[in-house]
Structure 1
Amino acid sequence: MEPSNLIAAILGPTLFVVATSEALNFRIWKDVPPTVVTLNGLVLFVAGLVIVALHNLWVADWRVLITLSGWLLVAVGAWRQYLPMATQAKPGPVAYAGLGALTLLGAVLAWFGWSAL
C-alpha cells in the first residue's frame, strides 16, 4: 500500500467518525474546561504535525487533501492551545456546514485509502 493510501485509510474514517459524533453530541462542548480544550489542541496539533512531516505533498490530485488536512489540524490544534478559554462553536448552520465538510472529506479519504487494499 502506498503511504498516501495508508494515511487516507486512517485519517478518513477518523475524520468521518469525529465529525459525525461532534454533530450528534454538540452539547458536550458547551461547558468544557479550558484544560480539556488545551489537551484536545495538543492531540490535534501533534496529529497534524505527523501528517505534515510524513506527507507534505502539494500535487494536483486527491493526495493534496491529506496535506491540507494535516495543516488544518496543525492550525486548529495551535489555536485551541493558545486560546483555550475562547468561546466554543455553537450549534448552527456554519458549525454544521463545517462538520458536514469534514464528514465528506473523511468519506472521500476513506474511499481512496481503503479502495487501494
Structure 2
Amino acid sequence: MANSRQIAGLLGPTLAAALTAEFPLVQPHLHDAQIPPVVYLSGVLLFVAGLAIVRAHNLWVRARWPVLITTTGWSLLILGLIRMFAAGQYRQTSAEVSSTTFIVIEGILLVIALVITYYGYRREPQ
C-alpha cells in the first residue's frame, strides 16, 4: 500500500496539472498545430511513464483504489504506443472529434486524477 501511495502522490497531481493545462476551455487552440514529431515524442514519454507504472505497480485488487493506478499505467502505455505508431494520423483523428467530446473525456480523467491525488495524500486511518 505504501508503494501505491507513493505512485499516487506523483501520478495524481501530474495528471491533474497536465489535464487542466490542456483543457479546451483553458487553451482552445493547443491541439490545432500538432505535428507528427511532437506527437511521436509525447507517445514515447507516455509509453515510458506507463511502462514504469506497470512495472512498479501491477496490482489488480478488486474494488480498491490501487487498481486506478494500474489501469492508468496500462492506459498511458497503450496511448503511448498509439501515438508512436500513428503519429501522422493522430492530428486528423483529433480534428474529427468535437471539442465537447474532449471536454467530457478530460473532465472524467480529471476526476480520476483528483481521486488518485486524494488517496496519495490522505492520512492513514489509525
TM-score range, shorter-chain basis?
over 0.9
Cα separation, 2, equivalents of 1:48 and 1:8 = 13
Aligned partner of 1:114 among 107, 117, 121: 121
Q: How many residues align?
A: 117
Q: Which moved more, 1:81-90 or 1:105-114?
A: 81-90
How far off its partner does 1:26 sit?
4.0
Offset of 1:89 from its aligned partner? 2.5
Indicate which of 26, 33, 38 corresponds to 2:35.
33
Aligned to 1:57: 59
Structure-2 separation of matches of 1:26 and 1:59: 38
Q: Which runs of 4+ in 1 moved over 6 A?
A: none
Which amino acid in structure 2 is aligned with residue 72 of structure 1? S
Relative contact order (C-alpha < 8 Å, sep 6+): which is higher? 1
The unaligned stretches of length 5 or more in structure 1 are none
Structure 2 match to 1:46: 48
Unaligned runs of 5+ in 2: none
Query: Percent identity of the aligned residues?
Result: 37
State the 1:116 CA deviation: 4.0
Tell me which structure has the larger Cα radius of gyration.
2
